[in-house]
C-alpha cells in the first residue's frame, strides 16, 4: 500500500517539516578559483598573478620564463584565498631562486588569511615590507 506522502518524493525532499530550508540550500558548496598563473613584464619589472592554489606550478612557470634584465619580481596573490605548507615551501623556493639571480622579490595584494600563514611561519621579514595584506575581504553574512 502506498501512502500519500510517498507519492510525491519531490514534495517530501523539497520542504522539510517546520518550514525550514533543506541543509543543502543553507550551506552552498564553496567554489574555488581555477588555478592559473599569468605573466606581465615591462622592462626591469615583472608581475606574476597567481590564482587558485599556490604550488609547484609557479616554480616551473618562472623557470621557463626569460628574465634577462629583470630586477624586480612582484607576485600578485589576490587570487589565492588560502595557503598551506606547500605554498610556504613554494614561496621560499621562489625567494631562493630570486636571490640567486639578484632579483628583488615582492608580494602584493596578499589576502589576510595568506599573510597570517606567512607571519606564523616566521617569514614576514623575509619578504619586502610592501607585502602588507590588502584590504579586508567582504564576507557574506549567513543568517540561520
Q: Is the pLDDT of residue 13 over 60?
A: no
- Alpha-carbon span 20 to 109, nearest angstrom: 40
All domains of the chain in start order, with CATH: 29-126 (3.30.750.24)
pLDDT computed for residue 19 by the predictor: 63
Q: Residue 125: how many CA atoms within 13 Å on its side-chain side?
A: 1
pLDDT band at 12 (very low <50, low <70, confident <90, very high): low
**pLDDT (tens digit, 9 = 90+) per residue, 107-139?**
999 988 889 998 988 888 887 545 444 444 444
User: Would the pTM count as exceeding 0.85?
Assistant: no
- Alpha-carbon span 91 to 22, nearest angstrom: 42
CB 111 within 8 A of CB 137: yes
Q: At which residue does the C-alpha cell 602588507 appear? A: 132
Q: What is the mean pLDDT of residues 83-109?
A: 90
**pLDDT (tens digit, 9 = 90+) per residue, 22-42?**
666 666 666 776 778 888 888
Max CA-CA distance within the chain?
81
The mean predicted confidence, pLDDT, of the chain is 76
Amino acid at each position: 500500500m502506498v501512502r500519500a506522502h510517498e507519492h510525491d518524493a519531490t514534495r517530501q525532499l523539497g520542504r522539510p517539516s517546520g518550514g525550514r530550508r533543506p541543509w543543502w540550500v543553507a550551506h552552498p558548496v564553496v567554489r574555488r578559483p581555477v588555478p592559473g598563473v599569468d605573466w606581465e613584464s615591462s622592462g626591469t619589472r615583472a608581475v606574476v598573478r597567481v590564482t587558485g592554489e599556490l604550488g609547484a606550478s609557479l616554480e616551473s612557470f618562472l623557470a621557463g620564463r626569460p628574465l634577462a634584465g629583470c630586477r624586480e619580481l612582484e607576485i600578485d596573490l589576490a587570487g589565492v584565498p588560502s595557503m598551506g605548507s606547500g605554498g610556504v615551501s613554494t614561496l621560499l623556493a621562489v625567494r631562493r631562486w630570486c636571490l640567486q639571480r639578484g632579483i628583488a622579490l615582492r608580494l602584493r595584494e596578499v589576502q589576510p588569511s595568506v599573510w597570517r600563514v606567512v607571519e606564523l611561519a616566521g617569514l614576514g621579514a623575509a619578504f619586502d615590507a610592501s607585502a602588507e595584506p590588502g584590504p579586508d575581504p567582504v564576507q557574506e553574512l549567513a543568517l540561520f
